[in-house]
Structure 1
């Protein structure tokens, strides 16, 4: 009887989502709905509340990571895997939606691309984006993981990718999971060095951009202005 009540509740919740989306759902109800797919028969309401109380917000739940999920009562490998997929899937979806065959005409277009690209990333890394002469995105690739200050960004690695893809314009971007948009002295100096190194090759560094907290900080002009002071 109790199992039958759970199934009816699940059916009502699914129908509510299909009719109205998630707008009318509280955060714990969103989690409860997601848990239906990894916990087939049990009441998931209590687990949803417990996860929200533990992590503090819906986004923090999904950002917790596989290993941390497994430490929580009521969470098995299916739930840990499902919740770990969600931020990666959201990022993949937003990147795909914002790129396609689109031409990036303005800096606002570019910053939107970068914010979507780094969404849900907890590890700091540097990404190289390459564009043709019309500013259509050709390709992008990570060129360094971890703190960019730990090792110098190698212009040769950048050049190999830029020439391999026959790019005319390229962009460097890295995230600050801490949420700070402030550049280090290294960020500014390496931006200046790479900009200069590629000028004789007729390859243009559009900018070097820090992404944090859904915002961007453009470093190229700052780095060149510092040199003039």
Structure 2
């Protein structure tokens, strides 16, 4: 007998009138979505339609539109669905382990692709790619994370590390540890990044003070802090752009 979770995600949304011989009622709809995606790219589909299409392989024998719409209704957007924790995804009826895994796999693939755009390149000349990567990696995390991009003297990425994980509104940061790790990696510049789970990327007073402490600790050792980026689902903020460092 199949596990209950598999029955749920593959069968719940298949409750339809008695099927006629031949193709399922949703097969034509799937082909139309595929054709629109092939011809017009992702912009040709609404967010729930793109999610529907992504779910075709996870739910091969049922209509994926109801579960896609349920996910968007619960989390708000395609990006927020991919960024949602697996245990919350599985609270949506029709989402079992296979669907939740495939959604997290898609999120990981997107993050890896965006990281590939900045690896080995001069980060300061690829700023939009840096922002895209940071938002994909952190904007929808349910708790604060403090990440550091370590750069060499040519401003190419040496390492990308999450140094601290915190609560929903605070992450402890220790400037001495930041500088110590930079020296271990022979980094000459840093980009600090953290997320605001509230969605609002506006820097707090504590964010500003912490950044200045890191700058003051790093400068005597010849390590520059190029920026501190704060990301959230509503956008991002640059402390350098705001002239706060």
TM-score (norm 2): 0.75
Are the counterparts in 2 of residues 115 and 215 from structure 1 also a CA contact under 8 Å? Answer: no
Are the counterparts in 1 of residues 84 and 140 from structure 2 also a CA contact under 8 Å? Answer: no
Task: Give the CA deviation at 1:111.
Answer: 5.7
Are the counterparts in 2 of residues 149 and 186 from structure 1 also a CA contact under 8 Å? Answer: no
Question: In the alignment, does 2:202 pair up with 1:182?
Answer: yes
Q: Deviations over 1:14-35 (max 9, x none)?
A: 3443344333323332222122
Are the counterparts in 1 of residues 144 and 171 from structure 2 also a CA contact under 8 Å? Answer: no
Secondary structure of residue in 2 paired with 1:41: coil
Inter-partner Cα distance in structure 1 for 2:204 and 2:73: 36
Inter-partner Cα distance in structure 1 for 2:67 and 2:144: 31
Are the counterparts in 2 of residues 3 and 41 from structure 1 also a CA contact under 8 Å? Answer: no
Where do 1:75-94 residues align within 5 Å?
A: 75-94=95-114
Are the counterparts in 2 of residues 6 and 41 from structure 1 also a CA contact under 8 Å? Answer: no
Cα 1:111–1:175, aligned 2, differ >3 Å: closer, same or farther? farther
Cα 1:131–1:8, aligned 2, differ >3 Å: closer, same or farther? same
Task: Give the CA deviation at 1:164.
Answer: 1.9
Q: How many residues are treated as equivalent by the alignment? A: 220
Give structure 1 stretches of 5+ with no counterpart. Answer: 224-229
Task: Give the CA deviation at 1:125.
Answer: 0.8
Give structure 2 stretches of 5+ with no counterpart. Answer: 1-19
**Selected match of 1:132 from 152, 158, 161:** 152
**Selected match of 1:4 from 11, 23, 41:** 23
Are the counterparts in 1 of residues 169 and 196 from structure 2 also a CA contact under 8 Å? Answer: no
Secondary structure of residue in 2 paired with 1:181: coil
Aligned to 1:116: 133
Alignment root-mean-square deviation, CA: 2.8
Secondary structure of residue in 2 paired with 1:4: coil
Task: Give the CA deviation at 1:157.
Answer: 2.0
Cα 1:20–1:147, aligned 2, differ >3 Å: closer, same or farther? same
Inter-partner Cα distance in structure 2 for 1:38 and 1:32: 10
TM-score (norm 1): 0.80
Task: Give the CA deviation at 1:57.
Answer: 3.4
**Selected match of 1:101 from 120, 123, 126:** 120
Q: Deviations over 1:137-194 (max 9, x none)?
A: 2112111112598564223322232122211112212121222233222222222222
